[in-house]
Amino acid sequence: MTKFDPNNFNGVIPAMITSFNKDESINKEGIRKTVNYLISARVNGLYITGSTGETFLMSQEEKKQAIEIIVEEVNGRVPVIAHIGSIGTKITTDLGQYAEKVGVDALSALPPFYYGFSNDEIFKYYADISESTNLPMTVYNISHANLMDLDMLKRLASIKNVKGVKYTAPTHFNFSKIKKEIGESFKIYSGMDEMALSGLISGADGIIGSFYNLMPELFVKMYKQVKNNNINEAKKIQEKINIIILFALKKSGYPFIKMGLKWLNLDSGYVRRPFNSIIDSENEKTIINELKILTKENDLTGIKFLETL
């Protein structure tokens, strides 16, 4: 059973990367370093083995290994939410039971995708997961797996262990509807990095995202500014974040994040194929030079990974 009250699963929660070596094997030391780096930045929890963790490029045993390493290294310092979702219920529940056994605090799962499952089948998928463990669960609403409407979310919220939603879409006006019709205790986690501030202002309890790995200090600072009602200061931070995100996405997504983490000596430079790693290439040298210019032109001070350039 979780050591933490699910009501307190709030704040800044990085969707943690999984460290790999050049030969694509799991980099245990890199994972441990990343855990400690993020916790030292005062994040409020970790969301692991999700899309950012390259979960769909990992075997079931590799996911179990990553979960166990992370839980051991965290050692109860912050809540750990393990994403266990896959296309099949059996695979998903097996991973969820293992995650509960090794000590995660909550589960999350992408809905089953590809085959165009019906709402009844999606409901049964989440109900089966809930019945297989005692942990609180966050459903995952994302356009890649077809966004669920409010009626479907209300239906899922009736499942005993479903306590919230990771909502990765720009329709933040729905947050107030979700809170009103499902209940204030139903957690909403805004999942779009470049709209984290919008999510918080719209009523999200927390924010989960990929670029939190690379610049956790900015998201933590922005969250605190929102809590202190300093919205203008929070907006300035989001603008800095977005300058970097928009630049990064023109180059790549996860490979860029891992490249920046490598500059912080976190051993996280490599992604799994078919992603292309950037590090140790001419492309990396070009990006470094472009980032130096970007930093100067936009006064991107106080961002640790850029200070390494």
**CA proximity to 241, closest of 166, 302, 167:** 302
Q: Which entry of 33, 63, 163, 166 is annotated as an active-site residue?
A: 166
Superfamily, domain 6-230:
Aldolase class I (3.20.20.70)
Which band of pLDDT confidence, cut at 50, 70 and 90, is reported for residue 2? low
Q: In the chain, pLDDT over 90 holds for what percent of residues? A: 91
pLDDT tens digit sequence for 28-42: 999 999 999 999 999
pLDDT tens digit sequence for 140-169: 987 665 678 899 999 999 999 999 999 999
Tokens, residue 121: 């089948």
Which band of pLDDT confidence, cut at 50, 70 and 90, is reported for residue 243? very high
Tokens, residue 258: 């891992």
Q: Which entry of 47, 140, 212, 223 is annotated as an active-site residue?
A: 140
Number of CB atoms found within 10 A of residue 158's CB: 10
Q: Is residue 167 annotated as part of the catalytic site, yes or no?
A: no
Evaluate whether 130 touches 93 at the Cβ level (below 8 Å): no
Evaluate whether 278 touches 255 at the Cβ level (below 8 Å): yes
Residues 132-145 have a mean pLDDT of 87
Q: What confidence score (pLDDT) does residue 4 get?
A: 85
What is the edge-to-edge ordering of all strands in the sheet holding 137-142? 11-14, 206-209, 187-190, 162-168, 137-142, 106-109, 80-83, 46-48
C-alpha to C-alpha distance for 277 and 21, rounded to whole angstroms: 11
pLDDT tens digit sequence for 20-77: 999 999 999 999 999 999 999 999 999 999 999 999 999 999 999 999 999 999 999 9
Which band of pLDDT confidence, cut at 50, 70 and 90, is reported for residue 227? very high
Number of CB atoms found within 10 A of residue 124's CB: 15
C-alpha to C-alpha distance for 205 and 193, rounded to whole angstroms: 15
In angstroms, what CA-CA distances link 162 with 107, 112, 138, 264?
Answer: 9, 16, 6, 37
Q: What confidence score (pLDDT) does residue 134 get?
A: 96
Q: Is residue 28 annotated as part of the catalytic site, yes or no?
A: no
Q: What confidence score (pLDDT) does residue 7 get?
A: 82
- How many Cα atoms occupy the beta-carbon half-sphere of 250 within 13 Å? 8
Number of CB atoms found within 10 A of residue 17's CB: 26
Residues 291-303 have a mean pLDDT of 94
Evaluate whether 58 touches 20 at the Cβ level (below 8 Å): no
What is the residue extent of each domain of the chain?
A: 6-230
Residues 238-260 have a mean pLDDT of 96
C-alpha to C-alpha distance for 226 and 69, rounded to whole angstroms: 33
